[in-house]
Amino acid sequence: GAVVSQHPSWVICKSGTSVKIECRSLDFQATTMFWYRQFPKQSLMLMATSNEGSKATYEQGVEKDKFLINHASLTLSTLTVTSAHPEDSSFYICSAPGRAPNTEAFFGQGTRLTVV
Amino acid sequence: AQSVTQPDIHITVSEGASLELRCNYSYGATPYLFWYVQSPGQGLQLLLKYFSGDTLVQGIKGFEAEFKRSQSSFNLRKPSVHWSDAAEYFCAVASYSSASKIIFGSGTRLSIRP
Protein backbone atom coordinates (compact mmCIF):
# COMPACT_ATOMS: atom_id res chain seq x y z
CA GLY A 1 0.00 0.00 0.00
CA ALA A 2 0.90 3.64 -0.11
CA VAL A 3 3.58 4.65 2.33
CA VAL A 4 4.62 7.96 3.75
CA SER A 5 8.13 8.10 5.12
CA GLN A 6 9.22 10.70 7.62
CA HIS A 7 12.81 11.47 8.55
CA PRO A 8 14.35 11.69 11.06
CA SER A 9 12.33 9.68 13.55
CA TRP A 10 13.91 11.61 16.39
CA VAL A 11 16.24 14.56 16.71
CA ILE A 12 17.85 16.48 19.53
CA CYS A 13 19.04 20.00 18.83
CA LYS A 14 20.40 22.95 20.72
CA SER A 15 18.25 25.95 21.43
CA GLY A 16 18.57 28.55 18.69
CA THR A 17 19.37 26.13 15.89
CA SER A 18 17.10 25.04 13.04
CA VAL A 19 15.86 21.55 12.35
CA LYS A 20 14.48 20.15 9.10
CA ILE A 21 12.00 17.29 8.98
CA GLU A 22 11.27 15.50 5.72
CA CYS A 23 8.06 13.84 4.64
CA ARG A 24 8.12 11.68 1.51
CA SER A 25 5.42 9.84 -0.34
CA LEU A 26 7.23 6.71 -1.47
CA ASP A 27 5.16 5.25 -4.26
CA PHE A 28 2.71 7.95 -5.15
CA GLN A 29 2.58 11.66 -5.80
CA ALA A 30 1.12 14.07 -3.31
CA THR A 31 0.33 17.63 -4.32
CA THR A 32 -0.85 18.25 -0.77
CA MET A 33 0.58 17.14 2.54
CA PHE A 34 -0.42 17.98 6.09
CA TRP A 35 1.73 18.71 9.13
CA TYR A 36 0.61 18.06 12.68
CA ARG A 37 2.15 18.72 16.09
CA GLN A 38 1.49 16.72 19.22
CA PHE A 39 2.65 17.91 22.62
CA PRO A 40 3.09 15.27 25.33
CA LYS A 41 -0.19 13.77 26.47
CA GLN A 42 -2.15 15.95 24.06
CA SER A 43 -3.89 15.49 20.75
CA LEU A 44 -2.59 16.10 17.27
CA MET A 45 -3.09 19.65 16.12
CA LEU A 46 -3.07 20.51 12.43
CA MET A 47 -0.35 23.07 11.80
CA ALA A 48 -0.45 23.61 8.08
CA THR A 49 -1.30 22.30 4.66
CA SER A 50 1.67 21.97 2.36
CA ASN A 51 0.95 22.66 -1.31
CA GLU A 52 3.29 21.56 -4.09
CA GLY A 53 4.62 24.55 -5.98
CA SER A 54 2.90 27.17 -3.87
CA LYS A 55 2.80 28.58 -0.37
CA ALA A 56 1.65 26.52 2.54
CA THR A 57 -1.61 27.29 4.28
CA TYR A 58 -1.12 27.72 8.00
CA GLU A 59 -3.72 27.17 10.69
CA GLN A 60 -4.60 30.01 12.98
CA GLY A 61 -1.99 30.61 15.64
CA VAL A 62 0.86 28.85 13.85
CA GLU A 63 3.84 31.09 13.16
CA LYS A 64 4.69 30.77 9.49
CA ASP A 65 8.09 32.39 9.95
CA LYS A 66 9.03 29.88 12.59
CA PHE A 67 7.70 26.77 10.90
CA LEU A 68 8.87 26.96 7.31
CA ILE A 69 7.21 24.52 4.95
CA ASN A 70 8.53 23.71 1.52
CA HIS A 71 6.85 21.38 -0.96
CA ALA A 72 9.21 21.55 -3.91
CA SER A 73 8.34 18.24 -5.51
CA LEU A 74 5.38 15.91 -5.79
CA THR A 75 6.90 13.48 -3.33
CA LEU A 76 8.60 15.65 -0.73
CA SER A 77 7.49 18.19 1.82
CA THR A 78 9.79 19.60 4.46
CA LEU A 79 9.12 21.33 7.75
CA THR A 80 11.89 23.47 9.16
CA VAL A 81 11.65 24.58 12.75
CA THR A 82 13.72 27.75 12.83
CA SER A 83 15.47 29.08 15.92
CA ALA A 84 14.13 26.21 17.94
CA HIS A 85 13.41 26.63 21.63
CA PRO A 86 12.57 24.06 24.30
CA GLU A 87 8.87 24.86 23.97
CA ASP A 88 9.06 23.60 20.37
CA SER A 89 9.88 20.14 21.66
CA SER A 90 7.08 17.99 20.37
CA PHE A 91 6.09 15.09 18.14
CA TYR A 92 5.67 16.24 14.55
CA ILE A 93 3.81 14.04 12.08
CA CYS A 94 2.96 14.46 8.44
CA SER A 95 0.32 12.92 6.23
CA ALA A 96 -0.50 12.68 2.55
CA PRO A 97 -3.86 12.05 0.88
CA GLY A 98 -4.68 8.61 -0.38
CA ARG A 99 -4.37 8.01 -4.08
CA ALA A 100 -8.06 7.59 -4.76
CA PRO A 101 -10.48 10.46 -4.21
CA ASN A 102 -12.16 10.52 -0.85
CA THR A 103 -9.83 8.05 0.81
CA GLU A 104 -8.16 8.55 4.12
CA ALA A 105 -4.71 10.02 4.57
CA PHE A 106 -1.52 8.07 5.09
CA PHE A 107 0.56 9.16 8.05
CA GLY A 108 4.29 9.20 8.48
CA GLN A 109 5.92 7.60 11.49
CA GLY A 110 6.42 10.95 13.18
CA THR A 111 9.49 12.87 14.37
CA ARG A 112 10.18 13.46 18.02
CA LEU A 113 11.99 16.79 18.41
CA THR A 114 13.76 17.63 21.65
CA VAL A 115 15.29 21.06 21.98
CA VAL A 116 17.84 21.40 24.77
CA ALA B 1 -15.90 24.43 11.35
CA GLN B 2 -15.51 20.79 12.10
CA SER B 3 -14.77 19.64 15.62
CA VAL B 4 -14.60 16.42 17.56
CA THR B 5 -15.28 15.87 21.23
CA GLN B 6 -14.09 12.92 23.23
CA PRO B 7 -15.59 13.43 26.67
CA ASP B 8 -13.57 10.77 28.44
CA ILE B 9 -9.93 11.65 29.08
CA HIS B 10 -9.02 8.34 30.70
CA ILE B 11 -10.87 5.03 30.96
CA THR B 12 -9.83 1.90 32.80
CA VAL B 13 -11.45 -1.44 32.06
CA SER B 14 -10.69 -4.97 33.15
CA GLU B 15 -9.15 -7.36 30.70
CA GLY B 16 -11.92 -9.30 29.00
CA ALA B 17 -14.52 -6.63 29.68
CA SER B 18 -16.35 -4.74 26.98
CA LEU B 19 -15.33 -1.27 25.93
CA GLU B 20 -17.06 1.78 24.55
CA LEU B 21 -15.24 5.02 23.81
CA ARG B 22 -17.41 8.02 23.11
CA CYS B 23 -17.04 10.48 20.27
CA ASN B 24 -19.24 13.34 19.18
CA TYR B 25 -18.63 15.50 16.16
CA SER B 26 -19.80 18.84 14.92
CA TYR B 27 -20.15 19.33 11.20
CA GLY B 28 -22.77 20.76 8.90
CA ALA B 29 -23.01 17.78 6.62
CA THR B 30 -22.14 14.12 6.91
CA PRO B 31 -18.45 14.00 7.68
CA TYR B 32 -15.86 11.34 7.19
CA LEU B 33 -15.14 9.77 10.56
CA PHE B 34 -12.15 7.84 11.82
CA TRP B 35 -10.75 6.14 14.87
CA TYR B 36 -6.98 5.99 15.31
CA VAL B 37 -4.90 4.32 17.98
CA GLN B 38 -1.51 5.46 19.21
CA SER B 39 0.70 3.41 21.49
CA PRO B 40 3.16 5.29 23.73
CA GLY B 41 5.90 6.92 21.71
CA GLN B 42 4.51 5.55 18.47
CA GLY B 43 2.78 6.85 15.39
CA LEU B 44 -0.86 6.48 14.42
CA GLN B 45 -2.69 3.38 13.28
CA LEU B 46 -6.08 3.56 11.60
CA LEU B 47 -8.60 1.31 13.34
CA LEU B 48 -11.59 2.02 11.15
CA LYS B 49 -13.32 4.65 9.08
CA TYR B 50 -16.79 5.69 8.01
CA PHE B 51 -17.32 7.34 4.66
CA SER B 52 -20.81 6.20 3.70
CA GLY B 53 -23.07 3.17 3.63
CA ASP B 54 -23.58 0.82 6.53
CA THR B 55 -23.48 2.83 9.73
CA LEU B 56 -21.90 -0.03 11.67
CA VAL B 57 -18.26 -0.18 10.69
CA GLN B 58 -15.93 -3.06 11.39
CA GLY B 59 -12.26 -2.36 11.93
CA ILE B 60 -9.05 -4.11 12.80
CA LYS B 61 -8.23 -5.79 16.11
CA GLY B 62 -11.90 -6.59 16.76
CA PHE B 63 -13.05 -2.97 17.02
CA GLU B 64 -16.26 -1.60 15.59
CA ALA B 65 -17.95 1.79 15.57
CA GLU B 66 -21.45 2.98 14.86
CA PHE B 67 -22.31 6.23 13.13
CA LYS B 68 -25.46 7.77 14.56
CA ARG B 69 -26.42 10.88 12.66
CA SER B 70 -29.22 11.83 15.04
CA GLN B 71 -26.78 11.91 17.94
CA SER B 72 -23.76 13.18 15.97
CA SER B 73 -21.84 10.32 17.47
CA PHE B 74 -19.33 7.72 16.34
CA ASN B 75 -18.60 5.59 19.39
CA LEU B 76 -15.94 2.90 19.32
CA ARG B 77 -16.67 -0.51 20.79
CA LYS B 78 -14.93 -3.78 21.48
CA PRO B 79 -16.64 -6.75 23.12
CA SER B 80 -13.61 -8.00 25.02
CA VAL B 81 -10.45 -5.99 25.55
CA HIS B 82 -6.95 -7.39 25.76
CA TRP B 83 -4.02 -5.97 27.71
CA SER B 84 -2.43 -5.01 24.40
CA ASP B 85 -5.31 -2.60 23.73
CA ALA B 86 -3.92 -0.16 26.29
CA ALA B 87 -3.15 2.96 24.26
CA GLU B 88 -4.42 6.40 23.32
CA TYR B 89 -7.45 6.46 21.06
CA PHE B 90 -8.32 9.39 18.83
CA CYS B 91 -11.59 10.03 17.11
CA ALA B 92 -11.19 12.20 14.03
CA VAL B 93 -13.26 13.92 11.38
CA ALA B 94 -12.69 15.14 7.85
CA SER B 95 -14.93 16.95 5.45
CA TYR B 96 -16.43 15.53 2.28
CA SER B 97 -14.38 17.97 0.21
CA SER B 98 -11.07 16.99 1.82
CA ALA B 99 -11.05 13.53 3.30
CA SER B 100 -7.35 13.82 4.06
CA LYS B 101 -7.46 17.02 6.10
CA ILE B 102 -8.16 15.32 9.38
CA ILE B 103 -9.12 17.04 12.62
CA PHE B 104 -8.49 15.04 15.76
CA GLY B 105 -10.34 14.85 19.04
CA SER B 106 -8.51 15.27 22.32
CA GLY B 107 -8.05 11.56 22.77
CA THR B 108 -9.01 8.96 25.35
CA ARG B 109 -6.34 7.05 27.19
CA LEU B 110 -7.31 3.43 27.75
CA SER B 111 -5.80 1.47 30.61
CA ILE B 112 -6.40 -2.24 31.12
CA ARG B 113 -6.79 -3.68 34.58
CA PRO B 114 -5.33 -7.22 34.84
Comparing CA positions, the residue from A81, A99, A62, A98 lying closest to residue A13 is A81
pLDDT value at A99 more than 80? no
Of B41, B43, B106, the CB nearest to A93: B43
Do the Cβ atoms of A110 and B43 come within 8 Å?
Answer: yes
B84 backbone dihedrals φ, ψ, rounded to 5°: -70, -5
- Model confidence band, residue A1 (pLDDT cutoffs 50, 70, 90): low
pLDDT value at A2 more than 60? no
Which residue pairs, CB below 8 angstroms and at least 24 apart, start in B83-86?
A: B83/B15, B83/B112, B83/B114, B85/B19, B85/B61, B85/B110, B85/B112, B86/B110, B86/B111, B86/B112
Which are the contacts of A76, defined by CB distance < 8 A and separation ≥ 6?
A22, A23, A24, A25
pLDDT tens by residue, B83-100: 999 999 999 999 877 778
- Nearest Cα of chain A lies from the Cα of B34 at a distance, in angstroms, of 9
* Residue A109, CA distances (Å) to A26, A76, A87, B47 in order: 13, 15, 22, 16
Residues of A with a Cβ under 8 Å from any B Cβ are 32, 34, 36, 42-46, 49, 93, 95-98, 101-105, 107-110, 112
| CA A95 – CA B91 distance, rounded (Å) | 16
Do the Cβ atoms of B32 and A102 come within 8 Å?
Answer: yes
Q: Give chain A positions within 8 Å (CB) of B37.
A: none
Q: What is the mean predicted confidence (pLDDT) over A44-67?
A: 95
Q: Give chain B positions within 8 Å (CB) of A98.
A: 99-100
- Model confidence band, residue A98 (pLDDT cutoffs 50, 70, 90): confident
